[in-house]
Amino acid sequence: MKNTRTLKGIAVSAAALLALTACSGGDEGDGGGDAAESKDVTIAVFNGWDEGIAASELWKNILEGEGYDVTLEYADAAPVFQGLSDGDYDVTLDGWLPLTHAEYVDEYGDEIVDYGAWNDEAKLTIAVNSDAPVDSLEELADNADVFNNRLVGIEPGAGLTTATEDSVIPSYGLEDMEFLTSSTPAMLSELDTATENGENIAVTLWRPHWAYDAYDIKDLEDPEGALGDAEEIHAFGSTAFSEANPEVVGWLEDFEMDSETLHSLENVMFNENDTDDYAPIVEDWIAENQDYVDGLTS
């Protein structure tokens, strides 16, 4: 299991800032114009954010098929948005709004271009096996024994963990359930074991995630809104790149990918194949979803 995340803001590191200057596509201060003219595209990818990695690898394949030279540069969220505003990066595909990345959009919004949302189903969840005898978080406390009085979480410092501890548990009276926190891989291992054994399990999760394609699970309804509203995943570009590349901008503005399609791509990339060489995996996935992919540039 790879490339999971804690769903919280990450501070800018000195190494990440150095990476910004190294990945510039043109002369310092030229806003990436030279890269655009030569059909070079630098896509910034958030470290450890699976949906952004999947979407970026998909668009790398698509754009290279259209004659572009695409480079993926990995960094944390803060330097990505700063790099877009400076023209060091051309595009990023993983901006969460209206909450997760709002502070960066507020800070850099005048120097970057929002291409719009390509997925509007991003949210924090509590998931259970599909045949579990509960459909709502309201029912969980009264059926805690069905899940061995356990709610399996991820990293202690994750935003999802904080929301569960501070909002979900008190809102639904789950104080008597044991809330286990360790790591995302550990949670997924528990989910895998329970599925194999036909056992009930409740886990903290989020959409989009490949687990929804790999396992027969469902989200529990959250009538109190304890986990917050769904967010949208947006693509953003630098001002210079956007002005110089209307063709690519048009494709990204029209880009849509529902969660079921995204989950299937994530699943083959991060679960079914134990490799970081995503290019051949994405190529095979495209061959199986050719009509969808063809529509992204038509």
If one counts the domains in the chain, the total is 2
Q: Whole-model pTM?
A: 0.82
Q: Examine the domain organization and report whether 20 and 100 are in the same domain.
A: yes
Statement to judge: residues 160 and 213 lie in one domain: yes
Neighbouring C-beta atoms of residue 276, cutoff 10 Å: 10
Smallest Cα–Cα separation from 219: which of 228, 229, 207? 207
Q: Are residues 197 and 128 part of one domain?
A: yes
Evaluate whether residue 1 is within a structural domain: no
Domain that holds residue 41: 14-121+231-295
Mark whether 113 and 243 lie in a shared domain: yes
Return the SS3 of 124.
strand
pLDDT confidence of residue 162: 94
Residues 106 and 250 in one domain: yes
Q: Per residue of the chain (298 residues), what is the pLDDT tens digit?
A: 444 443 433 333 333 322 333 333 434 334 444 443 559 999 999 998 999 999 999 999 999 999 999 999 999 999 999 999 999 999 999 999 999 999 999 999 999 999 999 999 999 999 999 999 999 999 999 999 999 999 999 999 888 999 999 999 999 999 999 999 999 999 999 999 999 999 999 999 999 999 999 999 999 999 999 999 999 999 999 999 999 999 999 999 999 999 999 999 999 999 999 999 999 999 999 999 999 999 999 9
The pLDDT assigned to 48 comes to 87
The last residue of a domain, from among 187, 219, 251: 219
Residue 118 neighbours by CB under 8 Å, 6+ apart: 55, 93, 233, 234, 235, 252, 255, 256, 257
Same domain, 20 and 153: no
The strand ranges marked E within 66-166 are 69-75, 91-97, 112-129, 150-152
Q: What is the pLDDT of residue 38?
A: 53
* Pair (148, 208) in one structural domain: yes
**169 plus 181 within the same structural domain:** yes
> DSSP state, 297?
T
Query: Residue 141, class by beta-carbon neighbours within 10 Å (0-12 exposed, 13-18 middle, 19+ buried)?
Result: middle
CATH number for the domain harbouring residue 87: 3.40.190.10
Does residue 276 lie in a domain region? Answer: yes
Phi and psi at residue 38, to the nearest 5°: -90, 10
One domain, residues 138 and 152: yes
